[in-house]
């Protein structure tokens, strides 16, 4: 049986990344070195580089995986619309992977405690973070939510387990969480396409695909526009 070839797209934060996998093996990975919302400019080029590995044979792809959020409204729209277009054009299934799940995969490399819990945090508006809690088997213990974190937010789980916090929302929370003896912090964890591979492969094997026509990113909050205070006339 041939190993599935899956193209992975991650655009939920200021870092844009693409990966290509054959089974569990990552055969291509690239991410933007400079952080900034340049996804519209970078994404198609990254995909083209990935497909060069397959001699531009797009029809050899078995599926496409995309990060589904939460995260940047603009970034998610770019990634998902690109993924849907490719899936429609190639007639291949679409796999949706949660942004916080992707971050948890990356953090596992820094955790040696079997009973520890993982808490990825993405920066949200004002003093909020998007957070969830996973065990080391990547099973979600607490669902994704928008939280204003204080010293009581994770009290119950910190009484029983070591909890590792990470992500670009961690800095907001560290001052109030570091008083807990079981709270630990991992720096420089961002969602990357290459960390989608084990999750996407598992979903592919179970045929856990989303409806390409109706799939929308998980924004968690509605997009808000601001009105300029400058006088136009």
Domain positions in the chain: 5-99+191-205, 100-186
Asked whether the predicted pLDDT for residue 146 surpasses 70, the reply is: yes
- pLDDT classification of 125: cutoffs 50, 70, 90: confident
3-state secondary structure at position 69: coil
As a whole number, mean pLDDT of residues 22-39 equals: 88
Closest CA to 105 of 194, 20, 27: 194
Say which CATH topology domain 100-186 has.
Nucleotidyltransferase; domain 5 (3.30.420)
Q: What's the CATH architecture for 5-99+191-205?
A: 2-Layer Sandwich (3.30)
pTM: predicted TM-score of the whole model, two decimal places: 0.91
Distance separating alpha carbons of residues 126 and 33, to the nearest angstrom: 26
Contact 11, 75 (CB under 8 A): yes
Per-residue model confidence (pLDDT) at position 35: 63
As a whole number, mean pLDDT of residues 67-95 equals: 96
């Amino acid at each position: 049986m041939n190993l599935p070839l899956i193209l992975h797209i991650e655009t939920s934060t200021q870092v844009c990344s693409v990966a290509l996998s054959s089974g569990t093996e990552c055969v291509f990975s690239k991410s933007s070195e400079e952080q900034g919302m340049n996804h519209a400019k970078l994404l198609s080029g990254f995909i083209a580089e990935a497909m060069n590995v397959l001699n531009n044979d797009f029809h050899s792809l078995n599926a496409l995986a995309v990060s589904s959020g939460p995260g940047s409204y603009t970034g998610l729209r770019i990634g998902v619309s690109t993924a849907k277009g490719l899936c429609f054009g190639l007639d291949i299934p679409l796999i949706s992977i949660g942004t916080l799940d992707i971050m948890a995969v990356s953090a596992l490399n820094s955790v040696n405690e079997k009973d520890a819990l993982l808490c990825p945090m993405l920066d949200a508006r004002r003093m909020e973070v998007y957070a969830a809690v996973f065990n080391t088997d990547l099973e979600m213990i607490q669902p994704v939510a928008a939280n204003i974190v204080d010293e009581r937010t994770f009290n119950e789980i910190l009484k029983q387990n070591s909890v590792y916090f990470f992500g670009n929302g961690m800095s907001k929370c560290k001052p109030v969480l570091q008083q807990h003896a079981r709270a630990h912090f991992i720096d420089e964890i961002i969602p990357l396409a290459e960390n989608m591979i084990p999750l996407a492969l598992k979903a592919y094997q179970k045929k856990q695909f989303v409806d390409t026509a109706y799939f929308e990113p998980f924004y968690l909050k509605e997009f808000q526009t601001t009105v300029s205070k400058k006088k136009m006339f």
